[in-house]
Chain A
Amino acid sequence: MIRSGVLFLAILWFSAVAIAQSAADSICNYYQIENIPVPKGLLPEVGGMDFMPDGRLVACFHRGEIMIYNPVTRQWKLFAEGLHDPLGLVAVSNSEVLVMQRPEFTRVKDTDENGIADLYEVVTDRFGLSGNYHEFNFGPVADQKGDYFISLNLASGLGGTFAEVRGRPDSLGRPGRMYSYVPYRGWIMKVDKQGNLTPWAMGFRSPNGLGFDTRGNLFVSDNQGDWLGTSKLYHVQKDKFYGHPSSLVWKEGFPDIDPLTLPVAELDKMRTEAAVLFPQGIMANSPTQPLSDTTNGKFGPFAGQMLIGEMNQHRIVRLMLETVDGQIQGACVPFFDKCGLRMGNNRMVFGPGGSLWIGQNNHEAWTGDEGLQRITWTGKVPMEVQEMHITKKGFDLTFTHPVDKKLAVRPEAYPFKRYYYEYHQAYGSRQFDLQPVPVKKVKVSRDRKRVSVELAEMKPGYVYELNVTGVQSREGKPVLNTLICYTVNKLRKS
């Protein structure tokens, strides 16, 4: 307690110094970040986190522990142990969690009410395990009906498979950099309350982050690599294919062929585009879990939007989504950069009172950090782009504060460029057809909160990247996070 108090003071002092030294505004002036102390001897690589109904945080860790943290007493307590790399959990009650570990989706329950789990019951283990180290399992997340979704990572060509595997293997799924040798690797599965498994959607590579928007749409992040030019966020819909071919071997009615032998153009036609692209090295290299801000304003001005963690930078990203021509698409913008935030931002959950808890993970040796942090809104609203909408000829930007009109009407305040990433088997992609997009017209609304930007050209299939450094609030506060990337799949027709 004393230690974190000192730390907190230190952070305040540092931010005070930062302000004194530079006019640049910082997210630290609007949100406070705090390190949560973890028990000695714990390797705090957070695989999953949730809050129990009584307000205690329950988290699972790399070496198989599930521990409970009471934010009031600031004490940790062991709940369960011995799990195999658990990478997600949901609290069902004050004595029960559902956890996704390598071998199965497990109900972990304290049935004799002594505070320690004694039941480790299979919810489902009817998916394949080849023994390949990269077959991580993620989720669960619960939909509004109480069904669960889990996601199954592909295997990696950097590792082999066991002589004995679980599930009937298919050698047609075995070739490739990342592969699907046993059933449903590269799939998202639905699990109903009875534990029945339904193959839900396919074509994923490393679907680490599952989450719902406030309307109940399921999303998953996927990581740059083979068949992924850059990291993405998909709107997950039943039976759709999202691009990584190996998992197609488990699709009902799919011919007995190695999916990698299909022409890329054919695969391209089959796939559903991502709702959001995270330009590699610009926005995020390894986006993790999307989380809707359900705090009704307790966490600041972005209620209803989704946040998404980033592994490789000291960053949390914010999403501004909309439905265009029946399809969800939108923009990503940094929400929280540095200011004491660690890397490895793997799991997030809102706690009682509306603060954001972040669990970090570096998977032992991978890029990132480990630990647990909490971000609380101070009540002050930063100058930010609150919403971004595509229009027939450009974009509408809504700001959190009225803009300085003189600055905001200038076309040069909106340097747009556009590019696309190639869909191909190779690992990642460079930016193709990178072009600046001239601004034709700018209009500021009467309340000075909305700016309509008309562009010379709107082209589907491109990321439109904007760096809105030239806009300030009427009080002279520049926009805090100026980099915005909007994924244009569909154009607004009217």
Chain B
Amino acid sequence: MRISFLFVLLGWLHGSACVEAAVTPTLPASDTTITIRAVMGLQYDVVRFAVKPNTRVRIVLQNADDMAHNLVLTKPGKRPEVVNAALALDSKGPALNYIPKTASVLGAIQVLSPGAQGELIWTAPATEGVFPYVCTYPGHGFVMFGALYVTAKPLPPLKGDPNVPEQALQNQEAAQTAHHVDYTDRRPSPHPYPVELPVIYRTFMPESGPAAIVVVLPNEQSYCWDAGVCRLRYAWQGYVDNSEQWHGNGKRLSKVAGDVYYRTGSEFPIRLGDPGKAPKEVLYKGYQVVDRYPHFRYTVDGTEVTEIIRAAGSGNGLVREFRMGPVSDDVFFTLEPHEEIEYTASAGRIEGNLLRLTPRQARQFTITIKSQKTAKL
């Protein structure tokens, strides 16, 4: 456990060292290549790097995620403006690769499908500055970015750097600690291997149908997803305790070890075409595990849906990503009112308790559920 933690940490440091080594005098200043990977969890694996003024930089983007991403390089301080401009493209977005035509955009790599690679070449100015790069794919821009430093000086400490995503840093820290140390250091593993997070358990849970799936996420938030009805049931801060379920041969339920901060209602949330009409048939198909995250698959009246649930940063919250097969009508998603919950969506319009998505928007969207209650420490 500890060894893998160190390894990850070293690997990460090693990665940044490589990046900074690119500006050492042994390499020609006019030809620097930096490779950035788009990785799972809406992030670039390189969140900052530096080049000397006047360097001709080649940025290679490899999409190692299972969703689409682009990369847009902006003028200093213009990241939020560019992200909002990309969102304003609305239905014109896809054709433009969600790259707005504004003077704030210095260069861009178009939308890459999973596994694809693209690049851009940009020459750094003679003066120093911090140039943001960001994924402007809808819903990604607020968390998925990094910074290109044009400077000959050492970089400021990574922690506290306002130009890198705080969430990504936190996630990275959480992943490094929770993923590799916390779970089993605090509790002995019930298996012949250390438990790595996320971890998936099919078990009997309270407040669910009998075909429940529990996932404990890297920051030790957990959720219960009911495969019997293909929907999220509730989420909590904490883990799942299966000991009594196992020991009693299923007679006693697994336990929610923590505080539930979110519960869904009793209805299936997705409506095709008519918000008043529940789907006739919702069928569970299974899940594919990608980087230990389950990608739940089900059909709603024949339309395929994939759902991936990740932690929304470090507090109590989830990002539910949905990918849907082609639909001809608008799609509605019920956002049940909840005192302490705030919903945001990467696409569509929120009308009352409904998120309304055009058929195009419905192909891929995220719904972020954030608890306003501070997590119990």
* Docked pose: A166 CA to B210 CA in angstroms: 7
Say if the beta carbon of A78 comes within 8 Å of chain B.
Answer: yes
Say if the beta carbon of A255 comes within 8 Å of chain B.
Answer: no
User: A82 to B200, Cβ gap below 8 A?
Assistant: yes
The interface residues of chain B lying within 8 Å CB-to-CB of A40 are: 192
Question: Quick one: CB contact mask for A440-460 with B, threshold 8 Å, 1 for yes?
Answer: 000000000000000000000
Return the chain B residue nearest A111 by Cβ: B288
Say if the beta carbon of A96 comes within 8 Å of chain B.
Answer: no
* Docked pose: A85 CA to B250 CA in angstroms: 8
Say if the beta carbon of B189 comes within 8 Å of chain A.
Answer: yes
Return the chain B residue nearest A104 by Cβ: B211
Question: Quick one: CB contact mask for A225-261 with B, threshold 8 Å, 1 for yes?
Answer: 0000000000000000000000000000000000000
User: B193 to A41, Cβ gap below 8 A?
Assistant: yes
Return the chain A residue nearest B201 by Cβ: A82
The interface residues of chain B lying within 8 Å CB-to-CB of A192 are: none
In the complex where A104-B211, A118-B288 touch, is A82 in contact with B248 (Cβ < 8 A)? no
Return the chain B residue nearest A164 by Cβ: B209
* Docked pose: A230 CA to B287 CA in angstroms: 42
* Docked pose: A182 CA to B17 CA in angstroms: 61
Say if the beta carbon of A422 comes within 8 Å of chain B.
Answer: no
The interface residues of chain B lying within 8 Å CB-to-CB of A366 are: 249
Say if the beta carbon of A106 comes within 8 Å of chain B.
Answer: yes
* Docked pose: A84 CA to B191 CA in angstroms: 14
Return the chain A residue nearest B289 by Cβ: A118
Expressed in whole angstroms, the minimum distance between the Cβ of B50 and any Cβ of chain A is 35
* Docked pose: A121 CA to B192 CA in angstroms: 24
> In residues 209-261 of chain B, which contact A (Cβ within 8 Å)?
209-211, 227-228, 242, 246-251
Say if the beta carbon of A468 comes within 8 Å of chain B.
Answer: no
Say if the beta carbon of B80 comes within 8 Å of chain A.
Answer: no
User: A102 to B202, Cβ gap below 8 A?
Assistant: yes
* Docked pose: A102 CA to B294 CA in angstroms: 19
> In residues 180-203 of chain B, which contact A (Cβ within 8 Å)?
189-193, 199-203
The 6 closest A-B pairs by CB, nearest first: A133-B250, A121-B286, A84-B202, A41-B192, A39-B192, A103-B211
* Docked pose: A12 CA to B246 CA in angstroms: 37
Q: Write the residues of chain A forming the contact surface with B, with a CB cutoff of 8 angstroms.
A: 38-43, 62-65, 67, 76, 78, 81-85, 101-104, 106-107, 111, 117-122, 125, 129-131, 133-134, 158-159, 162, 164-166, 363-366
* Docked pose: A143 CA to B53 CA in angstroms: 72
Pick 28 A–B contacts, CB within 8 A, sort by A.
A39-B192, A43-B246, A63-B191, A63-B242, A63-B246, A65-B191, A65-B192, A76-B192, A81-B199, A81-B200, A102-B250, A103-B202, A103-B227, A103-B228, A119-B289, A120-B286, A120-B294, A121-B286, A122-B284, A122-B285, A129-B209, A129-B228, A133-B204, A159-B251, A164-B208, A364-B249, A365-B247, A366-B249
The interface residues of chain A lying within 8 Å CB-to-CB of B287 are: 120
Expressed in whole angstroms, the minimum distance between the Cβ of A317 and any Cβ of chain B is 24
Say if the beta carbon of B290 comes within 8 Å of chain A.
Answer: yes
User: B202 to A64, Cβ gap below 8 A?
Assistant: yes
The interface residues of chain B lying within 8 Å CB-to-CB of A78 are: 192-193
Return the chain B residue nearest A85 by Cβ: B250
Return the chain A residue nearest B212 by Cβ: A103
The interface residues of chain A lying within 8 Å CB-to-CB of B285 are: 121-122
Return the chain B residue nearest A107 by Cβ: B286
The interface residues of chain A lying within 8 Å CB-to-CB of B294 are: 120
User: A162 to B209, Cβ gap below 8 A?
Assistant: yes
Return the chain A residue nearest B208 by Cβ: A164
User: B227 to A125, Cβ gap below 8 A?
Assistant: yes
The interface residues of chain B lying within 8 Å CB-to-CB of A125 are: 211, 227, 284
User: B246 to A364, Cβ gap below 8 A?
Assistant: yes
Per DSSP, chain A at the interface is loop
User: A82 to B288, Cβ gap below 8 A?
Assistant: no
The interface residues of chain B lying within 8 Å CB-to-CB of A363 are: 249
Expressed in whole angstroms, the minimum distance between the Cβ of A104 and any Cβ of chain B is 7
The interface residues of chain B lying within 8 Å CB-to-CB of A134 are: 250
* Docked pose: A277 CA to B294 CA in angstroms: 46
* Docked pose: A122 CA to B189 CA in angstroms: 28
Return the chain B residue nearest A44 by Cβ: B192
* Docked pose: A67 CA to B210 CA in angstroms: 25
* Docked pose: A42 CA to B191 CA in angstroms: 5
In the complex where A121-B285, A129-B210, A166-B211 touch, is A41 in contact with B227 (Cβ < 8 A)? no
The interface residues of chain B lying within 8 Å CB-to-CB of A64 are: 201-202
* Docked pose: A173 CA to B58 CA in angstroms: 70
The interface residues of chain B lying within 8 Å CB-to-CB of A106 are: 286
The interface residues of chain B lying within 8 Å CB-to-CB of A65 are: 191-192
User: A364 to B247, Cβ gap below 8 A?
Assistant: yes
Expressed in whole angstroms, the minimum distance between the Cβ of A122 and any Cβ of chain B is 5
Expressed in whole angstroms, the minimum distance between the Cβ of B276 and any Cβ of chain A is 24
Expressed in whole angstroms, the minimum distance between the Cβ of A408 and any Cβ of chain B is 48
Known pairs A78-B193, A102-B202, A104-B227; list 5 more (Cβ under 8 Å). A64-B202, A76-B192, A122-B284, A122-B286, A162-B204
The interface residues of chain B lying within 8 Å CB-to-CB of A164 are: 208-210, 228
The interface residues of chain B lying within 8 Å CB-to-CB of A82 are: 199-202
The interface residues of chain A lying within 8 Å CB-to-CB of B251 are: 133, 158-159
User: B228 to A83, Cβ gap below 8 A?
Assistant: no
* Docked pose: A43 CA to B203 CA in angstroms: 17
User: A83 to B193, Cβ gap below 8 A?
Assistant: no
* Docked pose: A334 CA to B104 CA in angstroms: 84
Return the chain A residue nearest B228 by Cβ: A166
User: A119 to B286, Cβ gap below 8 A?
Assistant: yes
Most buried by A among B201, B204, B210: B210
Expressed in whole angstroms, the minimum distance between the Cβ of B132 and any Cβ of chain A is 34
User: B288 to A119, Cβ gap below 8 A?
Assistant: yes
* Docked pose: A126 CA to B25 CA in angstroms: 66
Expressed in whole angstroms, the minimum distance between the Cβ of A163 and any Cβ of chain B is 9
* Docked pose: A41 CA to B288 CA in angstroms: 26
Return the chain B residue nearest A161 by Cβ: B210
Return the chain A residue nearest B204 by Cβ: A131
The interface residues of chain B lying within 8 Å CB-to-CB of A131 are: 204, 209-210
User: B210 to A165, Cβ gap below 8 A?
Assistant: yes
Q: A42's contact among B192, B199, B204, B211, by CB below 8 Å, is which? A: B192
Question: Quick one: CB contact mask for B171-183 with A, threshold 8 Å, 1 for yes?
Answer: 0000000000000
* Docked pose: A313 CA to B211 CA in angstroms: 34
User: B248 to A162, Cβ gap below 8 A?
Assistant: no
The interface residues of chain A lying within 8 Å CB-to-CB of B290 are: 118
Expressed in whole angstroms, the minimum distance between the Cβ of A344 and any Cβ of chain B is 14
The interface residues of chain B lying within 8 Å CB-to-CB of A101 are: 202
Expressed in whole angstroms, the minimum distance between the Cβ of A63 and any Cβ of chain B is 6
* Docked pose: A103 CA to B229 CA in angstroms: 12
Return the chain A residue nearest B209 by Cβ: A164
